[in-house]
Amino acid sequence: MVAMADHNTSYPKYSRAEILADGLVHALGLAASVIGISLFLAYRWDHISTGQLVALCVYWVGLIAMFTVSGAYHMTPWERFRAHLRRADHATIFLKIAGTYTPFVVTIGTAFGYAVLAIVWALAAFGAITKLFRWSAPGRWNAALYVGLGWISVALMWSVFETSAAAGWCAAAGGILYTAGILFFKWESLRFSNAIWHGFVVAASGFFFAAVSLAVSA
């Protein structure tokens, strides 16, 4: 997940306590993801289609990759690797966002939904490739790009609510949390701002995990 001073090429200076807090937030997000996936497979394996399972795997891989790569980027003690990890960190966010759309669209199953999914994946692939091979510095508009890509989901919200009202409300809550977290992403002078921002990401990811699980189980 994006570092606070993303418009600079150097990594921000955080205290030991701030780094520890951020590490714990990442560990919580990763552990919760693994537990959630395991529980879903244990209880819902026989209640979903093959297409839904494939779509879920795409989403789950993106989710795990985001927390894993982000944790490696923010926690690495080797500065010479950090620039490469930052590129990978930013790229996996695009893939996680597009991956989140995939189970919803497969469950909805409409031509319009697949058209939206194709646009989202095209933009995400472009963004990820650009991050990996083109932009040496992340750019100051990272958060806006990610949130904008995420809010394309408004085009599908009616269909999601028709599939499962609970899934729709969880998805809306997740989007609101992501957007609200940007305040702390930009508030660089606030102590523990990076951990707080990532806390919003973990909470939002939890709501989206619930939304996806409810939608495919409807």
Alpha-helical regions (H) of 109-192: 111-133, 142-151, 157-163, 165-186
Residue type, 199: G
Spatial distance between the Cα atoms of 184 and 109, rounded to a whole number of angstroms: 37
Query: Which domains does the chain carry?
Result: 16-217 (1.20.1070)
**DSSP structure class, residue 7:** T
pTM for this structure? 0.91
Q: Mind listing the pLDDT tens digit for each residue in 103-137?
A: 999 999 999 999 999 999 999 998 899 888 876 55
Burial 111-125 (b: 16+ CB within 10 A, else e): eebeebbeebbebbe
Q: Mind listing the pLDDT tens digit for each residue in 55-91?
A: 999 999 999 999 999 999 999 888 888 888 999 999 9
**DSSP structure class, residue 137:** S
